């Protein structure tokens, strides 16, 4: 099985961003703006939740892939670099999850 990272996915989305919308689903989503991309992300997230609740690992793998793809497209559409999200995750892992969550309540 070939490893495919979030960086690989972001690079793929970037490469398709400038292509004509009629030739690429990614380009079509991006041309419709952040709201459309976010709507698709929400739909895929709900489908992933359903697969998890139903205990269907195969469906969950498929839906999780859709969630990650649509998240990266939504970030691109909103002008938010994936690196910024990863840096935030890195910042959060510098402390325990419980401490980080408690700190967010006070801001």
pLDDT tier, 97 (very low <50, low <70, confident <90, very high otherwise) = low
Residue 36 counted as domain residue: yes
Residue 67 counted as domain residue: yes
Burial of residue 101 (number of CB atoms within 10 Å: 0-12, 13-18, 19+): exposed
Q: Taking each helix axis from N to C terminus, what angle separates 57-78 and 34-53, rounded to the nearest 10 degrees? A: 160
Residue 27 counted as domain residue: yes
**Helices (H) then strands (E): counts for the chain:** 6, 0
Tens digits of residue pLDDT in 22-64: 999 999 999 999 999 999 999 999 999 999 999 999 999 999 9
Q: Are 26 and 13 in contact (CB under 8 A)?
A: yes
Residue showing tokens 């205990």? 55
Q: Residue 70: how many CB atoms within 10 A of its CB?
A: 20
Residue 52 counted as domain residue: yes
| CATH number of the domain to which 28 belongs | 1.10.287.1080
Question: The whole model's pTM is what?
Answer: 0.86
pLDDT at 90 over 90: yes
Residue 94 counted as domain residue: no
Distance CA 20, CA 84 (A): 27
Give the C-alpha distances (Å, rounded to integers) separating 45 from 68, 72, 83, 104.
9, 13, 21, 24
Q: How many domains does the chain have?
A: 1
Domain that holds residue 70: 6-80
């Amino acid at each position: 099985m070939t490893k495919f990272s979030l960086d690989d996915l972001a690079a793929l989305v970037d490469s398709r961003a400038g292509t004509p919308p009629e030739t690429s689903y990614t380009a079509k989503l991006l041309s419709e703006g952040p709201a459309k991309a976010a709507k698709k992300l929400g739909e895929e997230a709900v489908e992933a939740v359903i697969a998890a609740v139903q205990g269907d690992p195969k469906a969950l793998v498929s839906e999780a892939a859709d969630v990650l793809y649509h998240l990266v497209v939504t970030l691109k559409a909103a002008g938010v670099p994936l690196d910024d999200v990863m840096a935030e995750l890195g910042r959060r892992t510098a402390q325990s999850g419980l401490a980080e969550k408690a700190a967010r309540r006070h801001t």
